[in-house]
Amino acid sequence: MIIGRALQGAAARSGGAGGGPSTRTLWHWRCECGAYSRGGDPFKADAEYNAQRHMWRKGVGHPMPEIYSTEEELA
């Protein structure tokens, strides 16, 4: 019952019971020019897209920002 386990995991997140993961990964970007992402995205592709938008907005020759991830504690 894979679906049942997934639902249990979601319930554990709010109830505090169970041994599920206590962190989640957030993706960010930061640029050589000093700009950086705000908040963070749960999907790497979103962070990459936002980084590309920054690069495009700055124009030709601007460096591609660095993509990195952080582990955020779940309350």
Smallest distance, Zn ion to C-beta of residue 70, A = 20
From residue 36 to residue 75, the character string flagging contacts with Zn ion as x (rule: CB under 5 A) and all else as - is: ----------------------------------------
In terms of CB distance, is 11 or 33 closer to Zn ion? 33
State the Cα–Cα distance between residues 59 and 43, nearest whole angstrom: 25
State the Cα–Cα distance between residues 6 and 72, nearest whole angstrom: 21
User: Which residue from 6, 33, 45, 64 is in contact with Zn ion, where contact means CB under 5 A?
Assistant: 33
**E-strand spans in the chain?**
23-30, 66-73
